[in-house]
Amino acid sequence: MNLIQLTIKGISYSQTQTGAYALVLNEIKGKRTLPIIIGAFEAQSIAIALEKEIRPPRPLTHDLFKTFADRYQIKVTKVIIHKLVDGVFFSSLISERDGKQEVIDTRTSDAIALAVRFDAPIYTYESILEKAGIYLKIEEDLSIEGPEFDSDDLMSEILNESSEEPFVEKSLKELHQELDDAIANEDYELAAKIRDEINKRS
């Protein structure tokens, strides 16, 4: 079976499960998307890795795995979402060390959090896209058709929610200080909001 490469389109709050998020993957050469329900911690980990500008003061679990793998010269070369059973996706990490390849079973959310950190491609099979893939609306590029997912805001639900903080009344110096404090306190949602306000003034 041929593998179909996917890219991360975004993350949105799940309308069907409280405290969960929908990770939305998009096929690179096509219009289908693959929404996958993941937990809040994994959603935050993926969002932070995608953001690049926000660096946690201490490593998250997936950052620790990346550092450990780098230390022992292990590289994740690809992620394959290979099975779908009763709405649950099964994935494999394809890793390599000293020219030897290993296949490691993993949760899909963890696999993608690591794929982002290793810059590893994400793949799935046509049969899975046929079962769970949905088509993008032509007129609304960021919307997802289907009753269970609302992707209007995508990544904003994780890192860029609107804030009631009166950032507009604060100076750049104060914002930079609050950004440092938020990162030190591992409040990444607040850090992203402050960073966005700083970027607006740049």
* 114-151 pLDDT tens trace: 999 999 999 999 999 988 888 754 334 443 333 333 33
pLDDT score for 152: 39
Predicted model pTM: 0.68
Q: How many residues does the chain have?
A: 202
pLDDT tens-place values along the chain, 202 residues long: 689 999 999 888 766 666 688 899 999 988 899 999 898 889 888 988 888 777 777 888 999 999 999 999 999 999 999 999 988 999 999 999 999 999 999 999 999 999 999 999 999 999 999 888 887 543 344 433 333 333 334 444 444 443 444 566 778 888 888 888 888 777 777 777 787 777 777 6
Residue 94 near residue 78, CB atoms below 8 Å: yes
Give the pairing of strands 3-13 and 122-125.
Answer: antiparallel
- Within 8 A by CB and 6+ apart from 145, the residues are 134, 135, 136, 137
Q: Tokens 């289908």, residue?
A: 32
Q: What pLDDT, on the 0 to 100 scale, is given for residue 14?
A: 67
Q: N- to C-terminal Cα distance for the chain? A: 49
Q: Supply the pLDDT for residue 1.
A: 67
pLDDT, position 186: 74
CA dihedral for 72, 73, 78, 80, sign (positive or negative) = negative
Residue of 112, 86, 85, 137 whose CA lies nearest to 22: 112
Rounded to an integer, what distance in angstroms lies between the CA atom of residue 10 and that of residue 151?
8
The per-residue pLDDT for 15 is: 63
Contact call for residues 14 and 37 (beta carbons, < 8 A): yes
Tokens of 93: 């990490």
Amino acid at 189: E
